[in-house]
Amino acid sequence: MWVKVVVCILIVAFCVLLGYLAGGKWRARKQFFEQLSVFNERYLTELNYARKPLKDFLAEYEYTGDFQKTVARFAQDRTALLEYPYLTKEERKECGDYFQMLGRGDAYSQKQFFSAQAAPLAAKRAEGEKQARSRSELYLKLGLLFGLAFIILIL
């Protein structure tokens, strides 16, 4: 009897874990766009006041996840690594164009470009948060339901 209960709990836990892992794509997307938005705000502040060299600015702040890999790669050889499965083709192009403009031209033209990027980045950030919340919850619930259905089938 106890063995059945333990096996059932393990099956449900495993299915919920699979649901959590399936929702990881949407959480990573949310985190990427949050950090890109914060990066844009910091860079605009940098352009308006301090104007440090780009390499010093990139080394000043710590980021996490895929955005950290992108910033590190850009700091190293001025190319952005954007081959992440959660970015669409258009988003890869937009982010690539964004990183190509870092440190290019005079401060005035950079201020204009990065100020114009603030609104679309805020929209992507909000969309990413909304999708992460809804789809992560969906995958967790589906995992739970699949685990319960599997238990019903084997009992």
Q: Judge whether 129 lies within some domain.
A: yes
Q: Judge whether 107 lies within some domain.
A: yes
Q: Judge whether 1 lies within some domain.
A: no
Q: Is the dihedral of CA 64, 27, 18, 91 positive or negative?
A: negative
Q: Judge whether 56 lies within some domain.
A: yes
Q: Mark 100-125 as b/e (b = at least 16 C-beta within 10 Å).
A: eebeeeeeeebeebbeebeeebeebb
Q: Judge whether 110 lies within some domain.
A: yes
Lowest model confidence (mean pLDDT) among 10-14, 19-23, 96-100, 104-108: 104-108
Q: Answer yes or no: pTM beyond 0.85.
A: yes
The total number of structural domains in the chain stands at 1
Q: Judge whether 137 lies within some domain.
A: yes
Q: Mark 81-91 as b/e (b = at least 16 C-beta within 10 Å).
A: bbebebbeeeb
Q: Judge whether 2 lies within some domain.
A: no
pLDDT, tens digit (0-9, with 9 covering 90-100), for 25-73: 999 999 999 999 999 999 999 888 877 888 888 888 889 889 999 999 9
pLDDT, tens digit (0-9, with 9 covering 90-100), for 110-153: 899 999 999 999 999 999 999 999 999 999 999 999 999 999 99
Q: Which domain holds residue 11?
A: 7-154
